[in-house]
Structure 1
Amino acid sequence: METLAGTVLAGKSFDPIRGRVVVEDGQIEAVEETETASTDIVLPAFVNAHTHLGDSVAKDAAVGLSLEEAVVPPDSLKHRRLAAAGHDDLVSAMRRTLRFVARTGTVSCLDFRESGLAGARALREAAEPVAVDPFIFGSDDLSVLDVADGYGASGANDADFTAERAACRERGVPFAIHAGEPDATDIHPALDLDPDLLVHMVHAEREHLDRVAEQSVPIVACPRANSVLKVGRAPIRELLDHTTVALGTDNVMLNVPSMFREMAYTAREFEVSAREVLRMATTAGAEIAGLDCGVVEPGRRAALLVLDGDSDNLAGTTDVVEAVVRRATELDVKRVLV
């Protein structure tokens, strides 16, 4: 048995309580209010709800490029770099990125993995020695579902994904698809596929939002990546008013996969509360992938992040949730318990 004491951001509302979290056999046994001298902050570990970890072989390659030039299949710079990368180099680069996200408080990445069966296997290999369990949305070939956790489609304007959607439904695994990133033309076709997850929705309009709510489709927003590629700003307030919204850092070639940076940017640039942003970075992604984490409450998997509340950066803050979302950085991480 182990205890983590301090200010605990407990439950789905992240109510700050002074007390401790009791952990046994990898599970949260209790969350107890009690006197403690600890200045630590205990919260759920992050779930990065949209990544492209294969881009670890092409860091900084997209600087100054358009969306199409940078990442659109099949001829973008990203896909040329992926095709040129050897297996060992790809695995090594992805493992380094996974080590970074593990050290900085992320327990899982919902990753769109290119290159079919070989690509999914490479990511499994990269993750073996790392305390991050990627949820893999494979692509390119239906055989990828033998290894991946679901299918991740590039976009409804790129190809007909009817067979992939049907295969996911037959296997009982999720089908996810990019939509509304460069413009709105692929949103209705994506929704026609009855997806389990939409990514981006930068150009979502009222008619799309109504369909999202009617079909109960969760969405992953990637605000920093959208800014880098200059495709626009997702209507995050409106998305939250219609469905579950999670946060993702998107392509490693565009941004460091830091949920701290993503939270701070989202809280600063959009009409959302700190609690909403923290939920987007933890609970929402866990719910989308069916992971038993993202909330500090008894019975949940003990995937927890401990911040040093007395660090030079966080000392003196009075609103713990605001401090975690807007101010905390990787340097404040004291421990990640997974």
Structure 2
Amino acid sequence: MQLEGTILRGRKFEPIQGRMVVEDGEITAIEETRTDSEKIVLPAFVNAHTHIGDSIAKEAGGGLSLDELVAPPDGLKHRLLRQASREELVDAMRRSLQFMEHSGTGAFLEFREGGVEGVEAIREALDGLAIEDVILGRETVQAMEAADGFGASGARDGEFGAERTATAEAGKLFGIHAGERDSADVNPALDLDPDFLVHMVHLEAVHLERLADEDTPIVLCPRSNLVTGVGTAPAAELLDRTTVALGTDNVMLNSPSMFREMEFAAKLYDISARDVLRMATVAGAEIAGLNAGVLEEGRDARIFVLDGDSDNLAGAEDVVRAVVRRAGVADVSDVIFDGT
């Protein structure tokens, strides 16, 4: 397979006119050459923090506080999840996953409620789809064993030491929410030596120092933080210290669109468009241990293509800035995961 157009090459997303060759699901060549194609070729998104199970409760709970919405065990989302049938849950999750796939998301990291049954349900929803999943079970060690790791709610909800030890022994990912409501749970979360932290809105100088020393990756969810009223993470300071990725968080609160998340992040944070695009692609891939998220030879061919001549994108002078701040689902002309 060959793709021609403007290729956003490498970690700097250098826009080159050229041709990309894909063989057996791998990028085998990127060649600069003259082309008349108006296509824009870029790596598929990695949505680094999702709660896809919340698809059963889209736009529920308007006006509720963060704890009223999502706090375990009796926040609104948990009550709605318990009330829904398995069939309803699977169907709702599949609809969200299909939307993600069609809009250029090649992989996602999911904090999955419901124990082992919850892990099995999302795998059922994924059947036949090309999007790559990294599922972190919750609540029990058994859920972690059935999944790709453990996703902890937060240090204020429990100690999670046993779960962290079991996850490390299994060689799997351990992620945890921290710094969402306030800074009190940040140090306890860091003490668990997590593979990554989610949110990190409320930070003190000591936390920034620890992040720099320990190089713990962060996933930011700016739209979710706005909706729940918890504040704005110090994105520029975090980027100076560690890997920072981007996630859409709860489907009940936000569409799982990385286009919307990128645009919002680019306009909210004092960071460059290239920083945002890295957060939406290769940073999440690195957290998840995926060989994707960047267009380089030897990388997995998880790619999507935008129509650079769409009414929305035609005439853009800065391609990367246009992709981050202007492009949307309607501009997607093709999605290619592993060469298919």
TM-score (norm 2): 0.98
Matches within 5 A, 1:1-338: 2-338=1-337
For 1:204 and 1:138, how far apart are their aligned partners in 2? Answer: 27
1:236-295 deviations in whole A, cap 9, x for unaligned? 111111100000000000000000000001111110000000000000000000011001
1:54-110 deviations in whole A, cap 9, x for unaligned? 000011013211100001111100000011111111111100000000000001110
For 2:60 and 2:129, how far apart are their aligned partners in 1? Answer: 26
For 1:237 and 1:185, how far apart are their aligned partners in 2? Answer: 22
Q: CA deviation at 1:174?
A: 1.3
Q: CA deviation at 1:205?
A: 1.7
For 1:95 and 1:246, how far apart are their aligned partners in 2? Answer: 24
C-alpha RMSD over aligned residues: 0.7
Of all paired residues, the percent bearing the same amino acid is 61
TM-score (norm 1): 0.99
Helix, strand or coil for the counterpart of 2:241?
Answer: coil
For 2:261 and 2:181, how far apart are their aligned partners in 1? Answer: 20
For 2:277 and 2:326, how far apart are their aligned partners in 1? Answer: 12
Q: CA deviation at 1:145?
A: 2.4
The residue type paired with residue 37 of structure 2 is S
For 1:31 and 1:176, how far apart are their aligned partners in 2? Answer: 35
For 2:63 and 2:281, how far apart are their aligned partners in 1? Answer: 31
For 2:88 and 2:46, how far apart are their aligned partners in 1? Answer: 26
For 2:62 and 2:2, how far apart are their aligned partners in 1? Answer: 45
Q: CA deviation at 1:146?
A: 2.6
Matched residue count = 337
For 2:266 and 2:159, how far apart are their aligned partners in 1? Answer: 36
The residue type paired with residue 203 of structure 1 is H
1:295-330 deviations in whole A, cap 9, x for unaligned? 101111000010000000000001100000001010
For 2:228 and 2:287, how far apart are their aligned partners in 1? Answer: 25
**Structure 1, unpaired ranges of 5+:** none
Helix, strand or coil for the counterpart of 1:135?
Answer: strand
The residue type paired with residue 333 of structure 2 is K
1:178-225 deviations in whole A, cap 9, x for unaligned? 000011110011011111110000001211011111111000000000
